[in-house]
Amino acid sequence: MSAVNPGRRALDGVRVVDLTQALAGPFCTSLLADQGADVVKVEPPRGDFLRYAGPFASADEPRDYGGVFQSANRNKRSLVLDLKKPEARDVLLRLIDDADVLVENFSAGVMERFGLDYDTLIARNPRLVYASIRGFGDKAGGVSPYRDWPAFDIVAQAMGGLMSITGADSDHPVRVGSGVGDTVPGLFAAFGILAALRDAERTGQGQYVDVAMADAVLAISEVVVNTYGHTGQVPGPIGNQLQGFAPFDTVRAKDGVVALGAPHNPQWTKLAAVMGQSELVDDPRFATDHDRWINRDAVYEVVNAWTERHTVAELIELLGGTVPLGPILDAADIFADPHFRARDMLPTVTHPTSGRTVTVPGIAAKLSHTPGAIDRRAPLIGEHTVEILRESGLDTADLTVLVDAGAIVIPSSQEPVA
């Protein structure tokens, strides 16, 4: 394997115009920025509303730069344009001329009303990859009867099937604790963008990447589709278990619980040996993967009777590296765990107003030659307006006209335009 080249990134030279707010879109474009894409975050004068959501430290004032915003907008530059103004839309078109990708997550029809729809932009820049993330998609991927419905993460989790199989029972459906109704669509959008960029390199022709949040959640709810599609049965919540697999659950320890998975014969055989009960392998109730699932109550009775005689630490010592087992790590545990330190999953950036060091999630996809980096904090609102517009060829007189028209907002900390 050749040496890592920290000075080169996989998406160097790719320009992304980012019109997204909230989490799904910014998460998508942050993945591109981590790999070197020049992501120009175009914000309205009030800024991305995610700026005003926490978490905040007690000393964070003003409260317009929350922790989730920091994480989802690292490595980007911010430009403020009021797209309700025709002059601002003209500026955006200048940016499109030099862009490789545009990403937006407005409600359906907004870009058409701005005169910035896919057909208009692709006529201007035929190689442009245009991506949208909406609750129920847009017309490119098939017109949903819910196309005009607004959506949040919890709606996507509910309608994408994930909540129907999450929780202890069907009377108490549970949303997955993190925003997978946003981040998973962001992942699919990033994948689609990279695939479309590859095709544009070959053909010179861009295309529309249409991602629905509900579709993305359904795509990872394999139990929903596979069970009903093959058996006609509607699966419901079964806690921490997984349909068809046993043991595959949390099990009791003397001082807590651990996650354990030994559902296949090789793992079950190893578990039985460590437990000192190798005879379980020949027990007809447990002879196959399917038998263990059908007789899962008996499986868990046997396993829990053994695990609850040991502490979590003892179970890790006995089973770690032998069968899939892990402790339930909370945030403090994760920050102290050597795995995440070794994998650089907790990098830090500097808060722009307090100057304190804050942690953001690291880059999960480790590329051997172009690993990417998180080396730029999320921008202040409009922090790079003048810089970006000067790169686009606008001079001081042009900037003054735009300011007077209310099309752009330049923070007082930036150079004067007149």
Phi, psi dihedrals of residue 117, rounded to the nearest 5°: -70, 170
Helices vs. strands in the chain: H and E counts, helices first: 17, 11
- Residue located via tokens 């245009």: 130
Q: What is the largest CA-CA distance in the chain?
A: 85
Do the beta carbons of residue 285 and residue 295 sit within 8 Å? yes
**Which of 18, 68, 24 shows the shortest CA–CA distance to 214?**
24
* Catalytic-role residue among 18, 182, 215, 249: 182
Do the beta carbons of residue 269 and residue 281 sit within 8 Å? yes
Q: What is the CA radius of gyration of the chain?
A: 25
Which residues of 290-416 form beta strands (DSSP E)? 325-327, 348-350, 357-359
Residues 277, 418: Cα–Cα separation, whole Å: 83
Active site residue 182: yes
Between strands 15-18 and 129-134, the pairing is: unpaired
Across the beta sheet with 325-327, what order do the strands follow?
Answer: 248-253, 256-261, 325-327
Q: Is 186 exposed, middle or buried (0-12, 13-18, 19+ CB in 10 A)?
A: buried
Phi, psi dihedrals of residue 408, rounded to the nearest 5°: -130, 160
Do the beta carbons of residue 148 and residue 226 sit within 8 Å? no
- Residue located via tokens 């019109």: 19
Active site residues: 182
